[in-house]
Structure 1
């Protein structure tokens, strides 16, 4: 019986390392606060402007810096003490969140202020994200790395469930200013966790290579590997045509269903529930089907699921739809990212991660703003259903033209 229990517990092995658990818990608290702010500001911008273009545009500003700064963040992650680097970035994020909180409590908050802070916060997040991921990898031995990555994904999606649910309660009782204050205080949890962590010694002599040469080398690896290029093109298409459902949730809840913060929070939490559920089963599916075959199946399914979500006749049907869409999206993006990581040596994984983030952030920023602008002119449902069908058509075309791309027998 003991042998049967071990495989189920192996996914939690990273928690055996106190440093990892401390950072994981601190990050969870911060993620909960971040999602509270995201819901509060999404509702605020939608209600203030009444335009999907503005809601999508503000969401895009958070991801737009990744187009320029992601490769730089990946290279910097290999050049500095990662704990100190992440701590500095966290302090910057705390100060930015504090600015929004102060503006809200003094009744000076505006859509333009939200946009500026979102852009600056996106810069800080983009620069420290590769260092944070690399730091987590340093806190566990190689055999527990998969557990560490999976649990970090679970942390983010647990925050997506808890944060919006709390945001709905806080917005209903205290207003947006209190949600922003909780987010500001949540960054302290990361700083406390980092103060309790002792990082293993790391050889710094290998980072003497010119910074820009490091960045260029990462791009040259991508260009030389057609499989990585294919996966990055897939990432861009998902980010631009399907992923905008994330940023446009407030518009869907408020404009199409006549609801407010409560409905927005529920839909975002349901997306998180779908993603967490998918995280529990995706490993089994990869073992049974193979990574590329599963990606092929999910790439066909996600377009159809997205179209059905946007066609939902009621809020409760939409809640079910976004659970399925959240699960599909999580499996799709995790699969694309992990496949790209598996194609490069360990010393290039931070730079590969940064290039992936650049493509994802750029595609999402363009998609959520562009589709939001179109939705104001021809209708939200029509635009989003059309983009979902377009994605499905592109996948079917690729499947017809390059069938080996969907097989694990491909080179």
Structure 2
């Protein structure tokens, strides 16, 4: 389907207003982060303390991203976003007041940064989830790309502006600027008149949606590859982010202004990386792009370990920004490509959990290493490790994401004698096949692939049995926690899954299609035969 160009989503007034507000809000957040990262170096010279502030901002996302993804699917997203913005504004107000009164300590800074991280954890999946509501389907990819561009615009402006404000007017003014940015974001969300959610008897509740998301993540082998590659890359790459404030102060002999410029260079490099990425994709596949990003990131860390001139440091951080955005876009784009719509928010939340967990754990770990061995040695160790794992894991190929994940809706409605309450369960589904002896091996191989689809779409148990009296009669069974969950399972089956089912059923030799039966657990006492 043709699109109207990369900037076509901005023709939609609601998207344009919320996009601009988001850029402004992210700019304020980067200003706040610069102030916090620099203030901790004034409060403590310990690398562990500096790394702790970095980890406090990312650890909540590791802990809460999955519940946040569930909430974004079960709550009114506009109201939820407003509440999150109020929480983040209260954090910056507290930082502003404590800084103005001279009462800010490492402990309070870490605690408030952690609360801010909670807000970021709740906001991330929700912002991603509202994009399809704001633009036509044909402009969705352009809207996602514009969101990434907006983040990097904020990343290039916010740190530099924060460094200038921090140097010229102090931390309280920098935090105050962040508070002001939330006013504009909240105003934009209040202006947006979001259509109310349509009533749906099969709408998921929190715990059921939570379990369904975890089941999908546990059963999807393609997602496992993406998560593993992301965890390793970010665990080693986090060294540069954890130690950059100390690199600016000690190795480069700079001040808060230089730190802001360094972060601004990373943001500018990310914009350049996003612009050249389409051309790089003509030469490199996803695995090649990730390996190239690992090598460039490692080389930047190695050069910074040598304490280069400040101009050289700014120049190589442009390369870091480009490499980082290419890695982020490659991993996130691959995750998006392999996820069906019904679980996209929750599965992306799992990805965010791994990403931020690797960043938080890596930040703490590299901070402790730096405290024991020094900053230059730590950066060199991380650089060597990143290149080594990048080369080794290049063999673990990322999935291509080329399968058709659109819902097929080809399963017929299950036959019932009477209406069944949605919370009845568990439900056992039996599928009866007749398979020739010579076809059994390829049939079972196809059926085992189908088992993964059953589990991803909601089954918590699966198995296959044969009739001892009739070996050609083979029974597949799977368990679903409730009748409503099985009805949702009908909606979740994709065209790719339908192809897999057709591959399985082509071995069936019966005169009709395989027989499907549904069995629902009886409540205690229901249907009991009483003796006279």
Q: TM-score, normalised by structure 2?
A: 0.72
Aligned residue for 1:169? 164
Work out whether residues 270 and 323 of structure 1, in 8 Å CA contact, stay in contact via their aligned partners in 2.
Answer: yes
Work out the number of aligned pairs and report it.
402
Aligned residue for 1:94? 89
Work out whether residues 300 and 396 of structure 1, in 8 Å CA contact, stay in contact via their aligned partners in 2.
Answer: no
Aligned residue for 1:234? 229
- State the shift of 1:311 in Å: 3.6
Which has the higher mean CA deviation after the structures are superposed, 185-194 or 105-114?
A: 105-114
Work out whether residues 334 and 398 of structure 2, in 8 Å CA contact, stay in contact via their aligned partners in 1.
Answer: no
Aligned residue for 2:112? 117
Query: Structure 1 residues 206, 299: closer, same or farther in 2, change over 3 A?
Result: farther
Work out whether residues 24 and 154 of structure 2, in 8 Å CA contact, stay in contact via their aligned partners in 1.
Answer: yes
Which has the higher mean CA deviation after the structures are superposed, 216-225 or 247-256?
A: 216-225
Within the alignment, does 1:245 sit opposite 2:253 as a pair?
no
Report Cα offsets for 1:75-97 as digits up to 9, x if no partner: 11111111111011101111111
Within the alignment, does 1:191 sit opposite 2:167 as a pair?
no
Tell me the SS of whatever aligns to 1:205: coil
Within the alignment, does 1:303 sit opposite 2:295 as a pair?
no
Which has the higher mean CA deviation after the structures are superposed, 116-125 or 198-207?
A: 198-207
- State the shift of 1:312 in Å: 4.9
Work out whether residues 309 and 318 of structure 1, in 8 Å CA contact, stay in contact via their aligned partners in 2.
Answer: yes
Aligned residue for 2:361? 366
Distance 1:301 1:408 in 2: 24
Which has the higher mean CA deviation after the structures are superposed, 214-223 or 274-283?
A: 214-223
- State the shift of 1:309 in Å: 4.1
Aligned residue for 1:355? 350
Bigger CA radius of gyration: 2
- State the shift of 1:305 in Å: 4.0
Within the alignment, does 1:51 sit opposite 2:50 as a pair?
no
Work out whether residues 251 and 307 of structure 2, in 8 Å CA contact, stay in contact via their aligned partners in 1.
Answer: no
Alignment of 1:205-354 (within 5 A): 205=200, 208-354=203-349
Distance 2:296 2:33 in 1: 28
Distance 2:163 2:123 in 1: 29
Distance 2:393 2:280 in 1: 23
Work out whether residues 56 and 369 of structure 1, in 8 Å CA contact, stay in contact via their aligned partners in 2.
Answer: yes
Aligned residue for 1:105? 100
Where is the helix percentage greater, Structure 1 or Structure 2? Answer: 1
Tell me the SS of whatever aligns to 2:73: coil
Distance 1:133 1:206 in 2: 25
Q: TM-score, normalised by structure 1?
A: 0.92
- State the shift of 1:211 in Å: 2.1
Higher RCO structure (Cα 8 Å, ≥6 apart): 1
Query: Structure 1 residues 78, 301: closer, same or farther in 2, change over 3 A?
Result: same
Where is the strand percentage greater, Structure 1 or Structure 2? Answer: 2
Distance 1:200 1:293 in 2: 43
Aligned residue for 2:485? none
Report Cα offsets for 1:257-291 as digits up to 9, x if no partner: 22110110110000000111111222343355443
Aligned residue for 2:390? 395
What root-mean-square deviation, in Å, do the aligned CA atoms of Structure 1 and Structure 2 show?
A: 2.2
Aligned residue for 2:25? 30
Aligned residue for 1:74? 69
Runs of 4+ deviating beyond 6 Å: none
Distance 2:201 2:255 in 1: 53
Q: Which runs of 5+ in 1 are unaligned?
A: 1-5
